[in-house]
Amino acid sequence: MATEIERKFLVRGDFFPEVYDSKRIVQGYICSSPERSVRVRIRGNEGYLTIKGASNVDGTTRYEFEKKITEEEACQLLALCEPGTISKVRHLVKAGDHIFEVDVFDGENQGLVVAEIELKEASEVFIHPDWLGEEVTGDVRYYNSMLSRHPYRTWENKK
């Protein structure tokens, strides 16, 4: 069983000079319940099917299974997804021994920029670049599955 350990932060500064790779991502959810999500994603020209379990209490850890599929299969599965597609550009930024995935959302989530870092353990120490803002790990509003149903542009109280 694969376990994902990650922390999530808002981005409050210019990270672009540190970007070493970027790819467009389009994704939808076949299932987006709090107990589990089934996601279909096209990243660049590659497809992925991902199943995630419920998060632990602090939101850092959950089961994750990911399988690479063809772009054609992903397009077919996107047609089966719940309403509310996520569209974003993912930028990769190295900070010490870690890589931040910085997602710049567009469409209904335009204006939201979030950085995620995957860790080997929840208490792992990592560099906090100057552009890293408030931590939102565990805040379900920032889960992509939630953003597909309740887009950032509709929020009244944005951080």
| Average pLDDT value over all residues in the chain | 94
Give the whole-number percent of the chain exceeding pLDDT 70.
Answer: 99
Question: For residue range 51-91, what is the model confidence (pLDDT) as tens digits?
Answer: 999 888 888 888 999 999 999 999 999 999 999 999 999 99
Residue-level pLDDT at 22? 98
Residue 54: the pLDDT is 87
- Each domain of the chain, given as residue ranges in start order, spans 3-154
What are the counts of helices (DSSP H) followed by strands (DSSP E) for the chain? Answer: 2, 9
Domain 3-154, CATH among 3.90.230.10, 2.40.320.10, 3.10.20.30, 1.10.357.10:
2.40.320.10
What are the CA-CA distances from residue 146 to residues 32, 70, 76, 155 (Å)? Answer: 8, 25, 22, 12
Given pLDDT bands bounded at 50, 70 and 90, which one contains residue 1?
A: low
> Of the given ranges (16-20, 67-71, 92-96, 152-156), which has the lowest mean pLDDT?
152-156
Residue 18: is it exposed, middle or buried by C-beta count within 10 angstroms (0-12/13-18/19+)? middle
pLDDT for residue 28: 96
Indicate if 29 belongs to the active site: yes
Q: What is the pTM of this model?
A: 0.93
